[in-house]
Amino acid sequence: MSDFSPADYGPIFAAWLDRNRCRPLDDSQAEEGGHHGLPELSLEAAFANSPIADRKMAECCLAGVWLLYDCLGESHTISQNIPTDSGSFWHGIMHRREGDFSNAKYWFRRVGKHAIFDPLAEQASEIGQQSGQIGGAVELLCSGPWDPVAFVDGCRSAVRGGKDAQLLCGRIQQAEWELLFDHCYQSATAT
């Protein structure tokens, strides 16, 4: 499993990332007041301790933070204006969470082969093995190369199905978020 540590992303991001990153699979409501101050978070403030080398990747980090706080509209506003594979990835996650599965698949197809697919496939396999849920449709998510379109279908089924599938997909979604945020941050700061 990931060794994601909020402190690795500087003090501003650390404060925002130090929370439960296993978010709902569906269009949950943002916590009332839970994102107080987030609207004022600028790229310059968020990256105050690390100069920005790639502004689009820095914007991807902000799109990810908005998703972390279940603010899908705000995340969408940012990600739809980032014409990169990572921008499309955040855009796809947002549509998957809102339940617009066909639109999510469209955006994941635009991603192509992303740099985090291999580590995500490995983590999904570990998560599936730990949960003891390898078999049937879950095996498609937890073995072989990462297929984001199959994961959209898995999340759709989990939302409509049982709690075990929701927990499994939620843990995989958390790994996806953490890997993508880390990739975007590392690229944004060129560290």
pLDDT at position 136 is: 47
| Measured CA distances, 129 to 13, 134, 146, 190 (Å) | 31, 6, 16, 34
pLDDT tops 50 at residue 159: yes
Question: CA–CA separation, 136 vs 144, rounded Å?
Answer: 14
Residue with tokens 């940012």: 78
Q: Which residue type does 87 have?
A: G
Give me the residue spans of the domains in the chain.
Answer: 51-184
Query: Of 140, 161, 142, 160, which is closest to residue 150 (Cα–Cα)?
Result: 140
pLDDT at position 134 is: 47
Do 148 and 111 touch, CB atoms closer than 8 A? yes
The residue ranking higher by pLDDT, 129 or 86, is 86
